[in-house]
Amino acid sequence: MHAAAITVSTSKAAGDGKDESGPRLEALARELGATVVARELVPDDRALIEARLLRCADEERCALVLTSGGTGVSPDDVTPEATRAVLEREIPGIAEAMRLSSQPHTANWMLSRALAGVRGATLIVNLPGNPRAIDQVGDALAPALAHALALIAGPRGDIHRA
């Protein structure tokens, strides 16, 4: 199963510091049994994020696309809007579970606008921008994400996404 990891951060994309979220996204994808075939670092630009999500889902045919960052309430946080534009079906329970699993770790858990859903045979999940938070919510979500990936692939699996 192929996966993509997309870090959304204008400062990191401009070279201001190291992307620590990308490796955490990759680790979560590997935990789910995926091979990461694309890892990107993009600025907080809605059109650019949409284009990357579409390419990973439709052209690279990834079964899983994990994003990190851009899910808060600042004016440049546009990852949820970009994600919603490409999704065919939302899975609100994943986003709700992410927020709940963040609650013990941060008082700002309720400010996350992260989304999750399906485009074709691709599961797209917005995760927090904080690398530590990726690990925290990833642990809580992993069993459900694995099950969702199996359901999306169907009973025979989608051989084109292997």
Task: Please answer whether residues 68 and 22 qualify as being in contact, where contact means their C-beta atoms are separated by less than 8 angstroms.
Answer: yes
Task: Please answer whether residues 65 and 125 qualify as being in contact, where contact means their C-beta atoms are separated by less than 8 angstroms.
Answer: yes
Q: Are strands 64-68 and 122-127 parallel, antiparallel or unpaired?
A: parallel
Biggest CA–CA distance in the chain, Å, is 45
- Mean pLDDT score, 9-36: 95
Residue 50 predicted with pLDDT over 90? yes
Measured N-to-C along each axis, helices 21-31 and 131-153 cross at an angle, to the nearest 10 degrees, of 40
Task: Please answer whether residues 57 and 119 qualify as being in contact, where contact means their C-beta atoms are separated by less than 8 angstroms.
Answer: yes
Q: Output the pLDDT for position 56.
A: 98
The fraction of the chain above a pLDDT of 90, given in percent, is 91
Residue 157 pLDDT class (50, 70, 90 cuts): low
Tokens of 145: 């994400």
Instruction: Provide the edge-to-edge strand list for the sheet that holds 35-42.
Output: 35-42, 2-8, 64-68, 122-127, 116-119, 89-90
Instruction: Give the model confidence (pLDDT) of 100-154 as tens digits.
Output: 999 999 999 999 999 999 999 999 999 999 999 999 999 999 999 999 999 999 8
- Token match 């994990």: residue? 66
Set out the domains of the chain in order of their start, with CATH numbers.
2-154 (3.40.980.10)
Measured N-to-C along each axis, helices 131-153 and 92-102 cross at an angle, to the nearest 10 degrees, of 150
The fraction of the chain above a pLDDT of 70, given in percent, is 96
- Mean pLDDT score, 48-72: 97
> In the predicted model, what is the mean pLDDT of the chain?
94
Phi and psi angles of residue 153, each rounded to the nearest 5 degrees, phi first: -65, -25
CA 85 to chain CA centroid, nearest Å: 14
